[in-house]
Amino acid sequence: MEPEAELVVERISAEPGETVEFGEVAMVEREGRVRVGTPYVRGAKVTCRVMSHGRGRKVEVFFYKAKENWKRSKGHRQPYTRLRVSEIVVGPTRGKKEERDGA
């Protein structure tokens, strides 16, 4: 994902227009270098703006018991939140001394 990308997540409690920050980032790629967290990348965070809330497609579930004349129908619509990524911040890297000093 990159800035200005839109994504859909399970509904979060924030109003449209608000800014939400996620500090638990599992993997980051910058300039061809990939950093994988254990379990999260230290110092990385993603800032998103809430675009809208909605509900997904209806899923219909049908229950029945054979030979008993018993049946039930149930439906479910999963609530979601649409987000737009504003910024991705990556903390300092911990690497070899030569990489840190630039020598």
5 in a structural domain: no
Which residue range is the domain that position 44 belongs to? 10-90
pLDDT tens-place string over residues 47-100: 999 999 999 999 999 999 999 999 999 999 999 999 999 998 887 766 554 444
What global pTM score does this model have?
0.70
103 in a structural domain: no
More confident: 2 or 83: 83
42 in a structural domain: yes
**In 9-33, which positions are buried (b, 16+ CB within 10 angstroms) versus exposed (e)?**
eeeeeeeeeeebeeeebeebeeeee
35 in a structural domain: yes
Domain count, the chain: 1
80 class by beta-carbon count within 10 Å (0-12 exposed, 13-18 middle, 19+ buried): middle
pLDDT of residue 93: 66
100 in a structural domain: no
The answer to whether the CB of 56 falls within 8 A of the CB of 78 is yes
1 in a structural domain: no
102 in a structural domain: no
23 in a structural domain: yes
